[in-house]
Structure 1
Amino acid sequence: MYVIRERFFAIGDDFDVLDEHGNKVYRVDGKVFSVRGRLVIEDANGDEVASVHRQIIALRATYEIRIGGEKAAEVRKKLFTPFRDKFTIDVPGPDDLEMKGNLLDHEYVIELDGHEVAAVSKRWLTIRDTYAVQVTADIDPLLIIGSVLALDLALEREEDKNKKGSDDD
C-alpha cells in the first residue's frame, strides 16, 4: 500500500509517496516550467529513479514513464470508450495494463489480462490531493505510481483546457 500525497505549499505538482507505515519512500518533483508536463520521482537520497513526461507529438494524451533511465511504459487514453474513460499502460512486450473505473473521481483499478493488479482511491476529505494505491500483484510499484501520476497530469491538462475554453465564451 502506498499513499501519494500532494505537498501543501509546493509550487507545481510536488508529491510525497509514503509506504503503509507512513515512511516517505519517494519524492515527486513536478517541473514547474516544463513544457512537457515532466515529473521526476526521487528516492530518499534524492536520486532520480523514475520520471513521467507528456509526449508532445501524439494523437491523444500520451505520457511516457521511464524507470532507471529506461522506457518502462506509455500511458495513453483509449480513443473510443463509450460511457467511461479508459487508459492503456503500454509496456514493452505483450503484458499491457488497463486503467478503468471512475477516473475523474480517481476511483479505479489497474488490470492485467482482466485481473486486478492495483487499486487507486482518491480521498476527498483532505485539503490536498491524496491517493491510496494498493498494488496487489508482482508489478513494479514505480510503474503503478508513475501511471497514477500520468493520469493525474492528463486529467489536470484536460481540466485546464476546459477552463480556457469556457473563459473564451
Structure 2
Amino acid sequence: MRYLVRDKIFAIGDDYWIEDENGRHAFLVDGKALRLRDTLELKDPAGRVLVTLRAKMLSLRGAMTVERDGRTLATVRRKRLSLLRNHYHVAMEAGPDLEVAGRILDREFTVEQDGRPVAHISRKWLSVRDTYAVDVVREDADAALLIAVAVCVIRMAEKE
C-alpha cells in the first residue's frame, strides 16, 4: 500500500492528512505546539491516536521514540554518516529491529527488517511538489509504525 505524505507535515502545531494511494484520508498528523519537546501524534481518520512521536530530551546523537498506548514501541537513532547515505537504527521493544538507509533529505530511502525491505520512501514516483510516498511492501507490516519511522528520520536529518 502506498501513502502520500506532504513535506509540510514538519511544521509544529499544524495538522496534515496522509492519503492512501486512492486519495482517501488514511492518517492525520497532529503537530503538538507548546510542548517542551518535539511531539507529533499519528491518528486514524476517526481521530484515535495510533502512535505518538517524541524527541528524546537528553540524547547525545539525537533520538526519537515512537509510542503506542503510553508505552515505547521503538526508538530511532542515527547510526552513522557516509557522504551519500544516512543510516538510522530503529530499536524495537518487541520483534526484530529495523534499519533505515538512503538519502534521507532527498526522500529516497528504504526501511529494512532482517535484511529485507519493509518500506520504500521516494519522491521519484510523484509529480506533486513537496510530496513523497511511503510504499509499504509487506502486507503484514504496521503502516502507522513505518510512516512514523519515516517522519522521525526525516525530522532528525533536517535538524542535523
Q: Does 1:82 align with 2:82?
A: yes
SS across alignment from 1:22: coil
- Counterpart of 1:150? 152
Q: 2:18·2:29 contact (CA, 8 Å) conserved in 1?
A: yes
5+ residue gaps, structure 1: 159-169
Match of 2:36, SS state, is coil
1:63–1:76 contact (8 Å) kept in structure 2: yes
> Computing the radius of gyration over CA atoms, which structure comes out larger, 1 or 2?
1
Which 4+ residue blocks in structure 1 deviate beyond 2 angstroms? 5-8, 10-15, 32-35, 67-70, 80-84, 122-127, 155-158
Aligned AA (1:143): L
Identity %: 33
1:38 paired to 2:39:
yes
Q: How far has the Cα of 1:6 moved from its partner? A: 4.6
In the TM superposition, residue 94 of structure 1 has moved relative to its aligned partner by: 5.3
- The structure with higher relative contact order (CA 8 Å, sep 6+) is 2
1:62 aligned partner = 63
**Higher-strand-fraction structure:** 2
Aligned positions, number = 155
CA distance in 1, matches of 2:89, 2:109: 13
CA RMSD of aligned residues (A): 2.2
TM normalised by structure 2 equals: 0.85
